[in-house]
């Protein structure tokens, strides 16, 4: 089995290495990852320029590709022939931080896995909560313990690759930031709902230009059975996601509003085009 491992934190992330090493025994792992942190880039792809791909070496001496493209570009590179064999499964992560609730729409980690699903491949996204406060003053460095989620994903990937597993389903895994022996179980969850408390702050002004910072923290609606709920209980959260964004009840509402008749007669082309 050919396993493509990618991420959005960049090729030097310890989470990427932990995932690669966890999956080494499951199949043949290839690594293609962004050359720098591309977190929160979601489903972005590179269309206005070509892509650099560089052969690099991970901290354990194994080979990898680094690209100046996005996480989704990494999966496209693999699917379009960068590797000798095309991947059988896409596994993205381990992200340094959770991807819960509405956050999945911003996540590059989840987006890369979604690209796998779009290509008809099994796909898993893996995210880990830090297990303590920041260990440097800038707040960029947090302690992470990947052991519980790494062994879980090692067992999960073969299940997701089984022919009976639905091909349109991406599995998003989130692990709580507690010691591995305190993780009690893994639970199937639904996406919870975020409450974003963002604010806009004027940082500086230069003539006609102003520099703003958008920042803030986020909470969530308490909801039993949600991914947030599992993490708060110290459990690994396992959420199936799919790509079909169509709101079926919204279709009924629009039909009842007869939007089909809204086109003004004067704008409708006489020859029906």
Give the shortest CB-127-to-Mn ion separation in angstroms: 8
185 contact partners, CB below 8 Å, separation of at least 6: 235, 236
Q: Which is nearer to Mn ion, 68 or 223 (CB)?
A: 68
**What part of residues 13-42 is at the interface with Mn ion (CB under 5 A)?**
39
Q: Which is nearer to Mn ion, 8 or 129 (CB)?
A: 8
Under DSSP, is residue 177 helix (H, G, I), strand (E, B) or coil?
coil
Q: Which is nearer to Mn ion, 9 or 115 (CB)?
A: 9
Taking CB positions, which residue lies at the least distance from Mn ion?
A: 39
Query: Contacting Mn ion (CB under 5 A), which of 4, 5, 9, 186?
Result: 9
Bridge partners of 66, per DSSP, are: 33, 54
Give the shortest CB-108-to-Mn ion separation in angstroms: 6
Strand ordering across the sheet containing 2-6: 53-57, 63-67, 28-34, 2-6, 89-96, 123-128, 170-175, 236-241, 186-188
Give the shortest CB-98-to-Mn ion separation in angstroms: 10
- Residue 234 region by backbone torsions, left for phi larger than 0, else alpha for psi between -120 and 50, else beta: left
Q: Which is nearer to Mn ion, 38 or 220 (CB)?
A: 38
CA distances from residue 264 to 240, 259, 261, 271 in whole angstroms, order as listed: 42, 11, 8, 15
Element (H, E) at 1: none
Best CA proximity match to 157, nearest among 87, 104, 99, 227 = 87
Site string for Mn ion, 78-117 (x = CB under 5 A): -----------------x----------------------
Give the shortest CB-13-to-Mn ion separation in angstroms: 8
Give the shortest CB-5-to-Mn ion separation in angstroms: 14
Residue 229 as a binder of Mn ion (CB under 5 A): the answer is no
Contacts to Mn ion by CB under 5 A:
8-9, 39, 95
């Amino acid at each position: 089995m050919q396993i493509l491992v990618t991420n959005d934190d960049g090729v030097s992330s310890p989470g990427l290495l932990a995932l690669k090493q966890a999956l080494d025994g499951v199949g043949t792992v290839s690594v293609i990852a962004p050359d720098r942190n591309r977190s929160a880039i979601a489903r972005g792809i590179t269309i206005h320029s070509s892509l650099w791909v560089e052969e690099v070496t991970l901290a354990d001496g194994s080979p990898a590709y680094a690209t100046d493209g996005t996480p989704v570009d990494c999966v496209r590179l693999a699917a379009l022939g960068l590797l000798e064999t095309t991947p059988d499964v896409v596994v993205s992560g381990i992200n340094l931080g959770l991807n819960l609730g509405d956050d999945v729409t911003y996540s590059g980690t989840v987006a890369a896995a979604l690209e796998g699903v779009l290509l008809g491949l099994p796909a898993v996204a893996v995210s880990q909560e830090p297990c303590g406060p920041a260990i440097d003053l800038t707040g960029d460095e947090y302690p992470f313990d990947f052991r519980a989620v790494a062994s879980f994903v090692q067992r999960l990937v073969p299940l997701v690759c089984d022919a009976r597993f639905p091909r349109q389903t991406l599995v998003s895994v989130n692990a709580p930031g507690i010691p591995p022996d305190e993780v009690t179980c893994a639970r199937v969850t639904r996406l919870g709902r975020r409450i974003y408390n963002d604010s806009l702050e004027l940082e500086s002004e230069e003539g006609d230009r102003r520099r703003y910072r958008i920042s803030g923290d986020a909470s969530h609606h308490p909801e039993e059975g949600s991914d947030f709920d599992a993490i708060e209980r110290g459990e690994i959260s396992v959420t199936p996601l799919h790509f079909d964004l169509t709101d079926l009840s919204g279709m009924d509402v629009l039909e009842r509003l007869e939007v089909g008749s809204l086109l003004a007669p004067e704008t409708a082309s006489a020859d029906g085009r």
